[in-house]
Amino acid sequence: MTKPHLLTALTAMTALLAGGCDSGSSADDVNEMFGKLMRRPHIEAVQADYLALLDRIRARLVDQLGIKPFVPDREPFSGAACPGEMSEVKEAQVRFYPSARSPGTIPDADWPRAVEIVTEITSENGFGEPRTVVDRPGDHEVAIYDTYDAELIIGTAENTIVGLSTGCHLTREAHQRGTPEPEEPLY
């Protein structure tokens, strides 16, 4: 092999080896992310709060706007690993609470009052201002976020829905232990 070809081959091999050795986040990164999540309540604690919040919102909308009662989804919730860099923390998860639905819509004239009701309740629970997702005649949706990146959605089109997904939180067990789960040996 001539020197230019050898140099090219060595450069390519070095690049492959360097890329192949990157195993993602370091233990220090995982510890830092874990520490950040330790400052949040564990997922089971926030679940109780979020479910109570959803019940209050749905009850007030039915009571004050006269819409039909909400029909819950069959599954109480689903869960997944956290997105992005937080996915490196094995015992961290997000949960999705299905959108219970009220058959029928909130009339356009009542939509601002619906958003006001939801904003009043969510602001008492650490959520910010609503962000409009859709706003056209007969079809409205807003999203409201809390400090842990939970997202509450209220929308109306064919039906009225209210649902929520949590931000990233540790499991109760991980929170009580206070440290990341030890790595399993690869052998």
Residue 24 has what pLDDT?
A: 54
Q: Which residues of the chain have pLDDT under 70?
A: 1-25, 184-187
Residue whose pair of structure tokens reads 């990157």 in the numeric block: 22
For 147-176, the DSSP string reads TT--EEEEEESSEEEEEEE---EE-HHHHH
Q: Among 16, 24, 13, 102, which residue's Cα sits nearest to residue 59?
A: 102
pTM over 0.85: no
Residue 79 has what pLDDT?
A: 87
Residue 39 has what pLDDT?
A: 95
Residue whose pair of structure tokens reads 């639905």 in the numeric block: 101
Residue 66 has what pLDDT?
A: 94
Structural domains present in the chain: 33-176 (3.30.2030.20)
Alpha carbons 140 and 124: distance in angstroms, whole number: 23
